[in-house]
A and B are shown apart, each in its own frame.
Chain A
Amino acid sequence: MIERRAFRVMGTEIELVVRNGGADGAFHRAEHEFHRLEALLSRFRDDSELSRLNRDGALDAGPDLLAVVELALAARERTGGRFDPTVHDAVVNAGYDRTFEEVAPDSDGCLVASTPAAGAVRIAGGRIALGPGVRLDLGGIGKGYAAERAAVLLAAAGPCLVNAGGDVATRGGPWPVGVATADGSITLELLTGGLATSGRDRRHWRRNGQEQHHLIDPRTGEPSRSDLLRATVVASDAIEAEIAAKSLFLAGADRAVEEADTAGIPAVLVTGDGRTILAGGLAA
């Protein structure tokens, strides 16, 4: 028997699925965990820990913020800077300065000069200190982290899947997950691990007639000009999948295929010109 619960938090739809019945308590705990983590990690809430860190430049952080920042910095190191949590100002400059529901689809606001990332972040003990003018955006990785935390809580009720707006965490597969391709969709049967999709097909808007989206290339500080429309990646968990999906998206189609095949990262890449590429060992 499959039980589901859906709700909205972190600016996206969350879906919880459990394969056993009687999961009410676990659903409640998992949903509460999402709300708790949103209250800590959202850059749109003035009272969140992240907003206080961005405002004050330093903070004695709680364990969750600390864990997510450490994961993000490790990912920056590992991806050679393609994944970078210090893109906050660049995202804001592109126009994503409020929750996505409130961002005008087409506006004439002036665009600020691009803001390359790679800002300084130091962690000592439980204290996070940001370099001058550095602010963090933990949107994507925060959702992956929340999905994994919720999956841990949900797993007490049985085999489960958490879909946090595209970031999928599982415990006890297999789980058939639909992935949009250029001309329809395919189903990936996920036995273990997590899955995430990064793309410019959903969170996009126009500023002064220019197409903008939220996937910032940290090297330029501007929305990526990747020839990919979206990248879906399977990894050991939703956090790793989120990092890898963003990294492959920014790499562009050719490089992404090469990297996915070399590292054995199962990926579904959809290009802007309508091609679907399976890489990293995936075969139709």
Chain B
Amino acid sequence: MASHLGRLYALAFALVVFFLTWAVVAAHPWASPAPDRRLRALAVREAELRREARLVHEVVAQRWAAYASELKLRRARIAAVRSRAAQLAAQATVAPAPASAAPSVRVVTLPPLTITRSS
């Protein structure tokens, strides 16, 4: 009688152990929990923004380089024009005309480009 009861307990215990094991194995305790979809979307968005920021930086850098180069050219042109104007002004102050140049003139039958009159 006692051994019969003992076997019954042993069977019940074995069943409990079996189902517990089943439950543990079914729960996949070794697998990581599934990530949240919103977090995944955020991560994707962040990556996109970082990529766009990199592109914007590249475009700005290119445009700045072009602007700096154009600015340098313009400054050089302005300096050249100023220098030429100063040269001409100095030339004009010193010598309003090549005084030694002999006038060269003749009467022609062409239509005049301008007309002189009493000043």
Contacts and interface: CB of A to CB of B under 8 A. Distances in A.
Contact of B92 (A149, A173, A199, A284): A149
Nearest to B109: A187
B119 to A, nearest CB: 4
B108 A189 contact: yes
A284 B92 CA distance: 35
Contact of A198 (B105, B113, B118): B118
Interface in A193-238: 193-203, 230, 232, 234-238
Given A192-B104, A236-B99, A238-B97, A153 B116 contact: no
Nearest to B103: A193
A177 B116 contact: yes
A2 B117 contact: no
A282 interface: yes
Contact of A187 (B88, B99, B112): B112
Interface string A120-153: 0000000000000000000010010100110111
A29 B103 contact: no
Interface size classification for chain B: 20 to 34
Interface string B8-23: 0000000000000000
Interface in A224-266: 230, 232, 234-242, 266
A111 interface: no
Interface residues of A, number: 66
Contacts of A143: 119
B114 interface: yes
A176 B105 contact: no
Contact of A29 (B85, B102, B113, B119): B85
B93 interface: yes
B91 interface: yes
A12 to B, nearest CB: 7
Given A149-B92, A176-B110, A187-B111, A236 B118 contact: no
B97 A202 contact: no
A164 interface: yes
Interface string B81-109: 00011001001110011111111111111
B5 interface: no
A49 interface: no
19 contacts: A140-B119, A151-B97, A153-B92, A166-B118, A176-B108, A176-B112, A177-B116, A179-B115, A187-B111, A189-B105, A189-B106, A189-B108, A194-B97, A235-B103, A236-B97, A236-B99, A236-B103, A278-B107, A282-B106
